[in-house]
Structure 1
Amino acid sequence: MADVMSATVYVTYEGTPDSRFDRSYYVEHHLPLVMQAWRRYGLESVAAFFPLQMQVGTIAICECRFRNETAIEAAFGSPETPEVMADLSKFTDLAPTRWRAAAF
């Protein structure tokens, strides 16, 4: 039944206030690239969240909502994924961490 319901992936970036992370590029270019690349596989929406104050820890969170678990697997295994991953160096030097979330 988990495959029938929508599924969410959170991508987090951990760093410090001095870490390179171009928020404008992320929101204006990277997230539209993600949506364009993975919409056909079942990505329904993306959203970015940033802490109100810069501090050590999480400096950015992306929420990717997919149609279901199968859509996540299809998107991350797609031919478009290398282009999405290569774009990271344009806005940060930080390595992202992916988390799958399930609704209760």
Structure 2
Amino acid sequence: MSASTAPTLVYVTYQGTPGTRFDRTYYVERHLPLVMQAWGRYGLESVAAFFPAEGREGTIAICECRFRDAAAIDAAFASPQTPAVMADVAHFTDVAPAQLRATPL
């Protein structure tokens, strides 16, 4: 499998403090299905949420989005569905998400 066709991950992280608003239930039950519905047609294969221990400053949530390849990420983020995905962030947090692309070895 060449690097251009290898599965590619996007990690979306949220940084905060113990007082930062982040609705984990909404995120898992509403936002992640919205992401899957919006970007699945472009090559998003799966999403998973991880939450570090509560009550600590730093990373408060991590989402792993597994795409078919790098071209699928580009297509998803350029899609007409992306504004709705991004607008939904305000429903569960006031924190701006950060994104990092990674390719498994």
TM-score category (smaller protein): over 0.9
Q: Which residue of 2 aligns with 1:98?
A: 99
Specify the code of the residue in structure 2 equivalent to 1:86: A
2:3 partner SS: coil
Compute the TM-score of the two structures, normalised by the length of structure 2.
0.96
Aligned length: 104
Compute the TM-score of the two structures, normalised by the length of structure 1.
0.97
Deviation above 6 Å: which 4+ runs of structure 1?
A: none
Q: Is 2:76 the partner of 1:80?
A: no
Q: Which residue of 2 aligns with 1:33?
A: 34
Q: CA deviation at 1:30?
A: 0.2
Cα distance in 2 for partners of 1:4, 1:94 equals 32
Structure 2, gaps ≥5 residues long: none
Q: More deviation in 52-61 or 85-94?
A: 52-61
TM-align CA RMSD: 0.7
Structure 1, gaps ≥5 residues long: none
Q: Quick one: percent identity of the two aligned structures? A: 66
Cα distance in 2 for partners of 1:65, 1:35 equals 10
